């Protein structure tokens, strides 16, 4: 008899709890009504966030799968991270961090500063970005080359407009003054240092006439000159 007295109240509590759980699963009991975006957006559209979040609203406040919403938001090309928070009684707070573009990749892609290649809508890609072309598996290596070479070129006031890495690892860049630099596969920093010295000494004065500089030589370089009247 004493055991019955103990278990009966526990059973009543358990049944009540389960009933409450089942009752709360109906989204019309505790509906989500509002999406509040807590981020300054530059590349991501609010409509993209809403379209990603709203399909989950039918789960209601308590049964919304936060991880699933975050995963859905991260499928938006420009989204780097997403944070979701429920606020009683019916609000969903959304914060996203956008990717930062490092370079254009190929015809339609973008390389982020994190070394991730992604493919957003073409109209959202910033105009003034260097152009990278190469094997996707070498994106991080190309970033390393870019920053190392850019630091050297800063000494002569030049920047890189495009960078191309061939399948065999040979590197070619185009400077913002239009000169193509053929660096090849080996000793790239040393070869660029040689160009910087020569540019300071004599090439700068002739830069408008130079089409390319081939640095794939042990102790020197070759210059290709523009043909008169051909740019």
Spatial contact of 145 and 177, defined as CB atoms under 8 Å apart: no
What letter would DSSP give residue 200? I
Q: What is the tens place of the pLDDT at every residue in 54-101?
A: 999 888 888 999 999 999 999 999 999 999 999 999 999 999 999 999
Q: What's the mean pLDDT in 31-54?
A: 93
Q: Is residue 42's pLDDT more than 60?
A: yes
Express each pLDDT in 136-178 by its tens digit: 999 999 999 999 999 999 999 999 999 999 999 999 999 999 9
Q: Are strands 34-37 and 91-98 parallel, antiparallel or unpaired?
A: parallel
Cβ atoms < 10 Å from Cβ of 30: 18
Find the radius of gyration of the CA atoms of the chain. Answer: 29
pLDDT tens-digit series, residues 177-227: 999 999 999 999 999 999 999 999 999 999 999 999 999 998 899 999 998
Contact 192, 183 (CB under 8 A): yes
The model carries a pTM of: 0.82
Nearest Cα neighbor of 124 from 159, 99, 143 is: 99
Q: Omega before 191 cis (within 30°)?
A: no
Residue for token pair 């794939």: 216
> Residues 101-109: what's their mean pLDDT?
96
């Amino acid at each position: 008899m004493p055991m019955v007295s103990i278990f009966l109240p526990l059973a009543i509590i358990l049944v009540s709890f389960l009933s409450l759980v089942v009752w709360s699963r109906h989204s019309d009991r505790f509906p989500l009504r509002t999406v509040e975006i807590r981020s300054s957006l530059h590349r991501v559209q609010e409509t993209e966030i809403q379209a990603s979040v709203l399909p989950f609203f039918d789960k209601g406040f308590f049964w919304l799968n936060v991880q699933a919403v975050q995963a859905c938001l991260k499928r938006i090309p420009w989204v780097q991270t997403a944070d979701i928070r429920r606020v009683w009684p019916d609000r969903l707070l959304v914060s996203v961090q956008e990717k930062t573009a490092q370079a254009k990749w190929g015809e339609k892609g973008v390389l982020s500063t994190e070394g991730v290649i992604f493919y957003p809508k073409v109209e959202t890609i910033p105009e003034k970005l260097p152009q990278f072309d190469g094997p996707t598996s070498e994106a991080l290596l190309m970033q390393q080359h870019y920053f190392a070479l850019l630091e050297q070129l800063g000494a002569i006031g030049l920047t890189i407009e495009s960078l191309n890495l061939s399948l065999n690892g040979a590197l070619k860049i185009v400077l913002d003054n239009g000169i193509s630099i053929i660096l090849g596969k080996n000793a790239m920093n040393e070869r660029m240092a040689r160009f910087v010295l020569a540019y300071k000494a004599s090439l700068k004065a002739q830069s408008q006439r130079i089409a390319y500089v081939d640095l794939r030589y042990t102790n020197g370089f070759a210059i290709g000159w523009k043909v008169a009247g051909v740019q």
